[in-house]
Amino acid sequence: MTTLDQLFETAKSARERAYAPYSDFKVGAAILTKGGKVIAGCNVENAAYPEGVCAEGGAISAMILAGETEIAEVVVVGDAALCTPCGGCRQKLKEFADGTVKVHVADLFGIRRTFSVAELLPAGFELK
């Protein structure tokens, strides 16, 4: 199994654990860190809608907890034609990934498209 296959399977499994009773739109994400760890996240909705957390945001939180701060590659899995990260998550990914990092977007059957972080978020916000 390649690393990319492992990321896809990890994201797909994470998606199964998503808490999405309101939208019924489950998403899973898997991050490969530069340190070689594979870290998963799933979306967690809330009755107060904006308080929910996207799969990518959950994975980033878990990555930080695991002591990693650099993203090497990302896979996002959702049951949609093109489940790209939302605008907020693009900025969250940029915080920990350089513009060349690949973000693979998958449906339940496999990866459908691959973007770089810079393609997903041109002219992203930078404080420094």
Residues carrying an active site annotation:
56
Query: Which span sits near Zn ion by CB under 5 A: 5-13, 45-53, 78-86, 117-125?
Result: 78-86
Contact 59, 111 (CB under 8 A): no
Q: Which lies closer to Zn ion via its Cβ, residue 54 or residue 120?
A: 54
In the block, tokens 């994470």 appear at 14
- Please give the span between the terminal C-alpha atoms of the chain, in angstroms, as a whole number: 39
42 forms part of the interface with Zn ion (CB under 5 A): no
86 forms part of the interface with Zn ion (CB under 5 A): yes
Q: Which residues contact 113 (CB under 8 A, 6 or more apart)?
A: 82, 104, 105
Q: Which lies closer to Zn ion via its Cβ, residue 56 or residue 67?
A: 56
Query: Which span sits near Zn ion by CB under 5 A: 23-31, 52-60, 108-116, 119-127?
Result: 52-60
| 45 annotated ligand binder | yes
In the block, tokens 């590659």 appear at 73
Query: Which span sits near Zn ion by CB under 5 A: 17-25, 81-89, 93-101, 114-122?
Result: 81-89
Of 3, 13, 12, 9, nearest to 33 by C-alpha is 3
Q: Which lies closer to Zn ion via its Cβ, residue 3 or residue 48?
A: 48
Binding test (CB under 5 A) with Zn ion, winner from 74, 89, 97, 120: 89
**Given 3-state DSSP classes, what are the helix, strand and coil percentages for the chain, each rounded to the nearest 5?**
35, 30, 40
Judged by the rule CB under 5 A, the positions of this chain that interact with Zn ion are 54, 86, 89
